[in-house]
Amino acid sequence: MLTLNTSDLSAVDLQNYLQYAIAPRPICFASTIDADGNINLSPFSFFNMFSTKPPICVFSPSRRVRDNTTKHTLENVLRVKECVINIVNYDMVQQMSLASTEYAKGVNEFEKAGFTMLKSEMVQPPRVAEAPVQFECVVNEVISLGNNHGAGNLVLAEIKLIHINEDILDKNNRIDQHKIDLVARLGGDWYCRVTDNNLFKVAKPLAKLGIGVDRLPHSVRFSKVLTGNDLGRLGNVEHLPSDEEIDLVSNHADVKEVLDATIGDSTNRERELHELAKKFLNFGDVELALKIVLL
Ligand SMILES: Cc1cc2nc3c(=O)[nH]c(=O)nc-3n(C[C@H](O)[C@H](O)[C@H](O)COP(=O)(O)O)c2cc1C
């Protein structure tokens, strides 16, 4: 394993390692205005939500690694404490990238990148009409993380109004994760798109107290067939099955087939039972899978 001490790394190297590993990052497409009312629009992937109530997002216009200068967005929110955070979908990604060009102060990136300005209701900076979600925010605080090249500036933005394009809503007026078509930033020039193919669900363990992987027998925990994801699912069940329940599973047709085919061959039996359990895990039948591996 390569181990790096951050104090030995240049800002360029740090930026590289951190941005490739801390990814994908959502993109805040922030519109702001300066004291003269000039409009600015720039993307920031050092961005996330940090509080639900109050609803607070944070993004970070950093000092440039190259020459330690500050960004117009930072200068603007220090003067006019408002912004609109626009969410970027796949259809916007090339124009969004164009808007990150370092145009001179006062240049309106809505115009340069070809986006449509939509008047906001509570704040002065306009919204990006093309964005599927637009958050009108007031800036509560800006926290400087230093004066070095690459130092961040945390902009704490409190969301006051949420505008959502109806095309991405489901019948309950909730955002449909399939329809929003989000993109995110990774390292260097890499981006990713959230598509039907790469969306998946993981059942939350919050409602119940899973038994934990440590309660599974050694042969299961160190199985050559079961992966960490398989063990995570098995450890998420609430109770170990009783001995009677485990015995009963030997009547299941698929289990019986394995048992009959591996009489006197304990190594293959364990492997084949684990493979069968894996199949049921992939179908979502965790209870049955657990009984099989406990046989
Ligand atoms: C997808 C994307 C994400 C970016 N994220 C950040 C970021 O989190 N922080 C930052 O300082 N610059 C980031 N940048 C670069 C800024 O957008 C760029 O420096 C821009 O010119 C700043 O504009 P401004 O000076 O008008 O504020 C990002 C660029 C892109 C394309």
Last residue of a domain, one of 130, 165, 198: 198
Cα(18) to centroid(ligand 1), Å: 16
What is residue 170's predicted lDDT score, i.e. its pLDDT? 98
Q: DSSP state, 175?
A: B
Instruction: Clarify whether residues 164 and 218 are in a common domain.
Output: no
37: in domain: yes
CB-count burial class (<10 Å; 0-12, 13-18, 19+) for 186 = middle
Number of domains in the chain: 2
* CATH classification of the domain holding 122: 2.30.110.10
Atom of ligand 1 at shortest distance to CA of 40?
26
What is residue 7's predicted lDDT score, i.e. its pLDDT? 97
Instruction: Clarify whether residues 256 and 191 are in a common domain.
Output: no
Q: What digits encode the pLDDT tens for the residues 116-155?
A: 999 999 999 999 999 999 999 999 999 999 999 999 999 9
**Model confidence at 206: pLDDT above 80:** no
208: in domain: no
- Judge if the beta carbon of residue 62 lies within 6 A of ligand 1: yes
Instruction: Clarify whether residues 76 and 143 are in a common domain.
Output: yes
227: in domain: yes
- Judge if the beta carbon of residue 152 lies within 6 A of ligand 1: no
Range of the domain at 173: 6-198
Q: Collapsing DSSP states into helix, strand and coil, what is residue 214? A: helix
- Judge if the beta carbon of residue 61 lies within 6 A of ligand 1: yes
Nearest residue (CA) to ligand 1, atom 16: 100
Cα(200) to centroid(ligand 1), Å: 30
Cα(63) to centroid(ligand 1), Å: 10
Tell how many helices (H) and how many strands (E) occur in the chain. 10, 12
Read off the pTM. Answer: 0.92
221: in domain: yes
1: in domain: no
Q: What digits encode the pLDDT tens for the residues 59-110?
A: 999 999 999 999 999 999 999 999 999 999 999 999 999 999 999 999 999 9
**Model confidence at 203: pLDDT above 90:** no
- Judge if the beta carbon of residue 42 lies within 6 A of ligand 1: yes
Distance, C-alpha 35 to centroid of its chain: 34
What is residue 181's predicted lDDT score, i.e. its pLDDT? 98
Instruction: Clarify whether residues 59 and 25 are in a common domain.
Output: yes
264: in domain: yes
Instruction: Clarify whether residues 222 and 185 are in a common domain.
Output: no
Q: What digits encode the pLDDT tens for the residues 213-272?
A: 999 999 999 999 999 999 999 999 999 999 999 999 999 999 999 999 999 999 899 999
